[in-house]
A and B are shown apart, each in its own frame.
Chain A
Amino acid sequence: MTSERPSSWSPAIAELKFAGHLLVQNKVVLAGTLIAAAVIITAIVGPVIISPDVATSINLPIRLMPPSSQHWLGTDDYGRDLFEVIILSTRLDVSASLTIVGVDLVIGVLVGAFSGFIGGKIDEGMMRVTDIFLSIPGLVLALAVAAALGRGLNNLILAIIIVGWPGYARILRGQVLAEKERLYVDALRALGIGRLRVIIRHIIPNTIYPVLVQATLDLGGVILTFAGLSFLGFGATALTPELGRLITAGQSYIFQAPWLVAFPGIAILIISLAFNLMGDGIRDVLDPRLRR
């Protein structure tokens, strides 16, 4: 797909339009994309509509109320309105996941591109490093890194970042290995354009699609990892609105007030599902073999 695209922008825009057309055609994917958009908008707008003070305002007389017309999803053990807290939580979970995947993407793309383009011993060494990272189950490694860094939201995010980049580096390196043999790369080099510029301006834009697809697919998983480690007690503190944390708090009341566990979990499920549907669709759209 990337093969015939010259490095000017107009065909790229045509390509994007075509991709958008395909995306809209598939209803399930469209639904996923719309939900994902809604989730991101909620994350941005939520704290504007609902005062962030809700998260810290404790109102014990109305704690553990079942869902009602006043409190759509009931109230939690601090007497906070669960619906409002979930909306507020969305921001942290979504922004953390986007940050994690974004940073991983940058690290992975740079490492993969340089490793693949330069080749030789450096490439060999880099790939062995990714081997090592990939040989430890992601969540276990994140757990170990988070434990070594100590508790706290930033450390948790950092831990998941450290675990995530090798996958992208591997995919991009594979792409670059094929791409760097192409004639235009030789032409650019013969024109006297430096390696750095060739890699950043030409090689990366031509090889990045599969990595972008993978990143979208990973978003759903990263949300689960983040919420999972948060559930185990890393990251957010008790009153911080965060979905995994809400489930930890609700766990003690699971038989007494099951909504405290049910609704935050459903929220995580919806967010993750939306990103997965979207990623699935984008993959289908960008993979020419699946277009037929």
Chain B
Amino acid sequence: MFVLLGVTIISFFLSQVLLDPLVLYMTERTTPDQIAAIVAHYHLNDPWPIRYAIYVGNLLQGDWGYSRSLSQPVLPGLAARFPATMELTVAAIIWTLVGGIPFGIISALRNNKLPDHVTRLVALTGVSTPVFWLGLVLQLVFFYYFHLLGLPYLPSNGRYEATLALEYPVVQVTGLMVLDSIITGNFIMTQDLIAHLILPSFALGFISMGVIMRIMRSSMLEVLRQDYIILARSKGLPERVVIYRHALKNAMIPTVTVAGLAVAALLGGAPLTETVFAWPGMGRLAVNAIGRNDAPLIMGFTLIAALVLVSANLIVDILYAYLDPRIKY
């Protein structure tokens, strides 16, 4: 809560102090009288603390300012694109975990053998890959070259095929279109939506996959050295039980922490990935807003990103208690 208040101080400073908010309301034909009226109406001549109080009050009331590039208020504009970003992020997290955890385990179990070296190299490459470039390369290979070779190819941009969506419109229930299409039994669209989701979510998830792999590997190595693992083995438990029942759950704790942090990386990657894949989410909106000096929208995106990150950390804290009963709140 405190942190979120702090974030509003930053966004207030950036949008109201560093940038002149007056510019937002002016055109070249605004008369001096009108300027005076605008200044009075938006309290632009008041001292900063008062302006900040007004700013926070407006935020709390859902008035996040007016976006010029969208020609609509910021909050509804962002809210409309929030599910698209959410869908992309969730899909990316799935890639991250599905790729990261098993390979991390394999790497730890085959410590310093070939699979370990390969996994570590892949993990480091993941961390070092520019996400926007990976997105373009994936498009080139899985859309263009697969198309050229007559192979089944994946769509390169957008969230769905517009012509197909006209024929089988997705009824909005949650806003997460994949989920909506499943709920309403619109499986033709489910297929199309998932096909569109594969490349961008993989590009986005690939960075964090490496991080998860590395942390999974090191925490698994740490756990495997513990006495209770030696005990479990000396009891004659099969290796499978030792690994999956005794070691894995304990090794998951640091991994979950890092997965929470990975949400930050994913949100940060969203503007880049969404731009490359023409994905209609908040990130692309924010990038477009920059070109048009649309500060309220950019600050709105920043606030939402902070909100999501804080919530992600809360979920991580709750998961701790589940993974380690010793942790109580």
Residues of A within 8 A of B (CB): 28, 128-129, 131-133, 135-141, 143-149, 220-221, 224, 227-228, 231-234, 244, 247, 251, 254-255, 258, 261-262, 264-265, 268-269, 272-273, 275-277, 280
- Asked if B14 contacts A140 (CB within 8 A), the reply is no
CA distance A96 to B275 in the complex (A): 24
Question: What does the 1/0 interface line of B295-312 toward A look like (CB < 8 Å)?
Answer: 100110110011001100
Residues on the A chain within 8 Å of B15, using CB: 148
Question: What does the 1/0 interface line of B148-163 toward A look like (CB < 8 Å)?
Answer: 0000000000000000
B125 close to chain A: CB less than 8 A: yes
* A180 to B: closest C-beta gap in Å: 26
* B145 to A: closest C-beta gap in Å: 9
* A278 to B: closest C-beta gap in Å: 11
Residues on the B chain within 8 Å of A276, using CB: 124, 127-128
CB neighbors of A among B252-286 (8 A):
264-265, 267-269, 271-272, 275-276, 286
Chain A residue at minimum C-beta to C-beta distance from B307: A135
- Asked if A269 contacts B127 (CB within 8 A), the reply is no
Residues on the B chain within 8 Å of A273, using CB: 124-125, 128
CA distance A229 to B2 in the complex (A): 29
- For chain B, give the interface size range: 35 or more
- Asked if B127 contacts A135 (CB within 8 A), the reply is no
* A142 to B: closest C-beta gap in Å: 8
- Asked if B267 contacts A228 (CB within 8 A), the reply is no
- Asked if B299 contacts A144 (CB within 8 A), the reply is yes
Residues on the B chain within 8 Å of A227, using CB: 130
Q: What total count of A-B pairs have CB within 8 Å? A: 147
* B295 to A: closest C-beta gap in Å: 7
CA distance A261 to B305 in the complex (A): 29
For the complex of A and B, the 3 pairs showing the least CB-CB separation, nearest first, are A139-B268, A132-B6, A265-B133
CA distance A221 to B293 in the complex (A): 27
Chain A residue at minimum C-beta to C-beta distance from B6: A132
CA distance A255 to B148 in the complex (A): 11
CA distance A201 to B251 in the complex (A): 40
CA distance A106 to B159 in the complex (A): 44
* B260 to A: closest C-beta gap in Å: 12
* B89 to A: closest C-beta gap in Å: 11
Residues on the A chain within 8 Å of B276, using CB: 251
CA distance A146 to B286 in the complex (A): 12
Chain A residue at minimum C-beta to C-beta distance from B127: A276
Residues on the B chain within 8 Å of A264, using CB: 133
* B128 to A: closest C-beta gap in Å: 4
